[in-house]
Amino acid sequence: MVKVKNIRLIFFSIIVSHLFAGTAGKISGIVYDLSNKEPLIGCNIIIAGTSIGTATDINGRFFLMDVQPGRHTLNASMIGYSNYIIENLQVNIDLTTQVEIPLSIAAIE
């Protein structure tokens, strides 16, 4: 027979685990030059309509944390390159959405 104290402990554990469950997702990826496949450092990555954004690191990689689940538009821009837009990018709770962004060189007007 299970003691009442053990049942309370199990119930409490279940409740606490649900309180700390994730409520957001993550976007991660790499940005590279389309012509030579070299990573691009300092490319700006922004989720349209939000204040969430970042820049790529020395390896061309980026991470966007605490992204609300749903479909988003991701904008990548860098001086000397064409802008790259990914529409309807699906972000799920507790999962990382991976993207690759190839940028092509563009003339500055």
Helix (H, G, I), strand (E, B), or coil: what is residue 51?
coil
Residues of the chain with pLDDT under 50: 1
How far apart, in whole angstroms, are the C-alpha atoms of residue 103 and residue 29? Answer: 13
C-alpha dihedral, 43 to 39 to 59 to 69, nearest 10°: 60
How far apart, in whole angstroms, are the C-alpha atoms of residue 28 and residue 96? Answer: 7
Which tokens belong to 73? 């538009």
* Residue 34, CA atoms < 13 Å, CB-side half-sphere: 11
Q: What is the pLDDT of residue 69?
A: 95
Q: What is the pLDDT of residue 107?
A: 75
Query: How do beta strands 84-91 and 70-77 pair?
Result: antiparallel
Q: What is the pLDDT of residue 23?
A: 86
% of the chain residues with pLDDT over 70 = 79
